Structure formats: structure tokens, C-alpha cells
Amino acid sequence: MALTPEDVVNKRFQSTKFREGYDQDEVDDFLDEVVVELRRLTKENEELRGQVGSDAAPAAEAAPVAAVVAEPVVVEPVAAPVAAAPIDETAGTTNLLQLARRLHEEHVKEGAEKRDALIAEGHATAARVIAEAETQQRVQLQKLDQERSTLEGKIDELRTFEREYRLKLKSYIEGQLHDLDATSVDAGNAPKPSFQGFGA
């Protein structure tokens, strides 16, 4: 793939589904493509420099002969454009690499900012949930305290009723026993009936 600086500038990554930011694998794959293309361009530049160097040596050897035969103006214009092209291409490669690094740093920085924002949002949500749970717990504890107070009041009322009932029951039973004792004493003082009349 022939990679141009415009390809790097215009490259857009897909956003992920479950978290904000770019898909790290996609960014890494793209940077791998950039590295492969930069290595290819660097190798091509070295080959062109080698060709220019090998072409320049025979031209230098042929220069004295050319001076005798014709004017040496022909050698210089040919060598100048060939030498200038690899320099511009190397500068373009360096710029491309710098652009790729800058884009990578921007993506990493953007990812870190989003990560920090998500962490802060998570902490805020956790604090809110904890506060709501504590509020609900306080409300429930208040309700339970009120119910306990009500039940304790009812238990006290039942205990008072039980004491009063026992006292009334005891008084009633003692009154009945007293009446029973009085009745048996009265019955002991009464004259005994005579059964002699039945035998006569």
C-alpha cells in the first residue's frame, strides 16, 4: 500500500462499543502499516542514493573526456535533480513519521482523558449510590425504631393488664374462699337432723 501523508491525516478510527475512545488494535494495525511503508521508503531512498553514487562515479571519470570532446555542461544538470529528489523524499518520510507519532500521542492523550473522565464519573456515581443507600438505611432505621417503640408500649400495656387481671382474679378467688369458709362454719353450727322417726 502506498501511504501518503494525506492518508495519515485523513485516517479515521472506529469508536469502540463498550467504552469511549478508539479501538486500540485498529490504531496499532494502522501504525504498523505506517512503519512498513516508512521502512519501504527508507530502503528505496537508500537504493536511489546507491544508484546516484554509482552513476556519479562513471560520470566523474568521463568528465575529462567530455571536456575534450564537448562542453561539461551536460553532466551537472542531470546529477542535480536526481540528488535533490531523495532529499525531499527523506524529509517527507521524516515528516510522515513525525505526523504519525503526533497522531499516536494525540490518540493516547485523548484516550487517557476519556479514561480519567470515566473514572471520575464512576467515582461520582459510586458516591451517589452510597449516599442514597445510607439515606435509605437511616429512613429504615427510623421506621424500625418507631415500630420498636410502639411494640414496647404495647408490651408494657399488656404487662400492666396482666398484673391488674391477676390482682382482680386473686381478689375474686380469695373472696370466694372466704365465702366458702363462712358457709362451712355456718353449716357446722346448724342442728343436725334426727332420723329416729323413720325407725319407729
In a domain, 158, yes or no: no
* More confident: 1 or 99: 99
For residue 136 the three cell numbers come to 435509605
Q: For residue 15, list its beta bridge partners.
A: 22
Question: In this structure, are residues 92 and 5 in contact, taking their beta carbons and an 8 Å threshold?
Answer: yes
Can you list the alpha helix ranges (DSSP code H) found in the chain?
5-10, 24-69, 75-189, 196-199
* Tens of pLDDT, residues 30-68: 888 888 888 888 888 888 988 887 766 555 555 444 444
In a domain, 165, yes or no: no
Residues 6+ apart with CB under 8 A from 4: none
**Domains of the chain: total:** 1
* Tens of pLDDT, residues 68-122: 444 444 334 333 344 444 445 677 778 888 888 888 888 899 899 999 999 999 9
* More confident: 17 or 120: 120
Question: In this structure, are residues 23 and 13 in contact, taking their beta carbons and an 8 Å threshold?
Answer: yes
- What's the one-letter identity of residue 185? V
What is the span of the domain harbouring residue 53? 5-144
In a domain, 47, yes or no: yes
